[in-house]
Structure 1
């Protein structure tokens, strides 16, 4: 009788040693497709060592966030909403206005929505670095370009 091979489960200490840095240019890329690719890399689902309850993902740097693409009329029609909890505290802002005011926020919010809603998801989000322009301060980490496919 041939025994089956044991399944692999990554340990948190092992996963931290194998992190790489990726950089992706958001210019002209659709927001949702970009966010799903980023969430996959942050979570570590692109690696054979993926373990659902352990952070096995890599760091992702996004540049040119202000040039991200939204199809159709979403610049005017898509709204980001928030509520302060007070009566009359509802605030709504169009994507176009938010992109002018704080261009990093739409990508962060889109990726956050694709990550787990628990402590692990909040930990994964700290590995995402988003910048409005083409420059970033992480050259010392030697980031590699992330293929968009």
Structure 2
């Protein structure tokens, strides 16, 4: 029996909307990453982007377990000597609430061109409103 390989022009990409209110960050991010890759579809292939579009709302109401609001640290480097900067999850939520979900999902996607293309299908918004009503996204309960 031969393995079925869906042609790129026949792949249908759905739109889903996820409400992140009171959802645990890691559990939500792993399900979103799986959907972005298309692993929930029977036609999944690791070298073809057949994942769906995900719209995440209420990013500012995400939950973290334990003391992770203070203990979880995000690092970045300015490029200068001694220029490492660190930000706690609480500070990141206050300044850029959408980055918390985006960084978690990015870490769960492949580190190559395919992963960067799949991350572009993730849309994260503060609040319940989003500009993708024309795509008629279906509600995804995670």
Q: TM-score, normalised by structure 2?
A: 0.97
> In the TM superposition, what whole-angstrom CA distance separates every residue of 1:87-142 from its partner, at most 9, and x where no partner exists?
02100011001101000001000000000000000000000000011110000000
Q: What is the aligned residue count?
A: 142
Structure 1: 4+ residue segments shifted above 3 A: none
> Could you say which structure has the larger radius of gyration?
1
Unaligned residue ranges in structure 1 (runs of 5+):
none
Unaligned residue ranges in structure 2 (runs of 5+):
none
- Which of 78, 94, 114 is matched with 1:120 structurally? 114
Q: TM-score, normalised by structure 1?
A: 0.93
- Which of 37, 48, 52 is matched with 1:54 structurally? 48
RMSD: 0.8
Q: Which moved more, 1:75-84 or 1:58-67?
A: 75-84
Give the Cα separation in 2 of the matches to 1:123 and 1:13: 17
Contact 1:11 1:54 in 2 (8 A): no
